Amino acid sequence: MRTSMQREGRSVAGGLILWVLAVVPSTAVGSDAAVRYRRICGPCHGQRGDGLGPAAGYLPLRPRDFTRGEYKFRSTPSGSLPLDSDLARTIRRGLPGTPMPAWRGALSEEEIGDVVRVVKSFSRRFADEPAPSRLQIPRPPRFDARLVREGRRTWKLFQCASCHGPRGRGDGPSVPGLRDSDGLPIRPRDFTVGIYKGGSSPRDVYRTFMTGLDGTPMPSYMDTLADERARWALVAYVQSLGRRPSFFDWLFADPLVSRAR
Ligand code: HEC
Ligand code: HEC
């Protein structure tokens, strides 16, 4: 009798210690960040990170469901988790042309790092899987008309136009059948507008098509396009399709987009 009571007492004490160990550090380290997440990200991404916040239904595009651990903008191989620096970049710069705002200025670098930890905490993948490898982006060659011409050939060879359309307007013949991982219709961006979700610098565009956008039909070309010059040529060609935004684009642009740029 005594022994079982002792055992019970011990297991209650043990449980209490475990609870203290689990809860105290997370409130001490994470509480500010968790509260901040709920206040500024929760309305779209949901308090539980499931992408079902109260504002989500009013958006033209679904906010990411963080419980899946599936991310579009990574510097890691297709199907892998993103690096912390990838998540921080997305949060800092936002995703131009989508409702996802840029938080640079509103959040300090330290606060962005804290929010990254909150976002990761919604998916077990980050605890279960080993750290993914990072794509090394070498120095680009000189961008000139010759490189653009070479890129045009690669664009044809790899049939980017089947989805992106011959002039990159996002109107390729495959578009009506394209679906994202939720089974919802998805269309590629109009490259002539020159606004990229994943960033518009040559390195950004290189990263996007090398790693692919998980959860969308946009594949990774890491293995199929091995020639370094051909990769940069493709970047040069994609960028050559863009035009500078006009006064009217600026006037009628989504304020979230202009803030993100
Ligand atoms: C106004 C709504 C809105 C708010 C507020 C918002 N997001 Fe988003 N977020 C989105 C949408 C919509 C997407 C999906 C865009 C897409 O798939 O192209 C997204 C995507 C993301 C992604 C996915 C990037 C990837 O690689 O797939 C991350 C990470 C993210 N948001 C983090 C945050 C964090 C952290 C906050 C708060 C600091 C936040 N978001 C606030 C709407 C929002
Ligand atoms: C099977 C269809 C398909 C093919 C083939 C394809 N793409 Fe895509 N691509 C997409 C879709 C869909 C998106 C938009 C994903 C999104 O916005 O979530 C996209 C997005 C992109 C983006 C990102 C734009 C941004 O907003 O940051 C780039 C860059 C890109 N594609 C380049 C290419 C290049 C270069 C090729 C050929 C080597 C190619 N794509 C082939 C479907 C395709």
What digits encode the pLDDT tens for the residues 60-95? 999 999 999 999 999 999 999 999 999 999 999 999
- 95 CA distance to ligand 1 middle (Å): 8
- 209 CA distance to ligand 2 middle (Å): 7
For the chain, list the domains and their CATH numbers: 145-260 (1.10.760.10)
Taking the CA of residue 215 as reference, the ligand 2 atom at the shortest distance is 18
- 168 CA distance to ligand 2 middle (Å): 10
Closest CA to 83 of 29, 33, 129, 45: 129
In the block, residue with structure tokens 């203290």: 20
Phi, psi of 185 (to 5 degrees): -60, 145
Single pTM value for the model: 0.86
pLDDT value at position 8?
43
pLDDT band for position 29 (cuts 50, 70, 90):
very low
177: tokens are 């059948």
pLDDT value at 166 more than 80: yes
Q: Whose CA is nearest to atom 8 of ligand 2?
A: 218
Rounded CA separation 46/64 (Å) = 10
Q: Whose CA is nearest to atom 11 of ligand 2?
A: 188
Query: What Å distances lie between residue 178 and 46, 72, 134, 172, 181, CA to CA?
Result: 27, 16, 28, 10, 10
Ligand nearest to the backbone CA of 53:
1
Taking the CA of residue 215 as reference, the ligand 1 atom at the shortest distance is 27
Ligand nearest to the backbone CA of 93:
1
Phi, psi of 55 (to 5 degrees): -85, -15
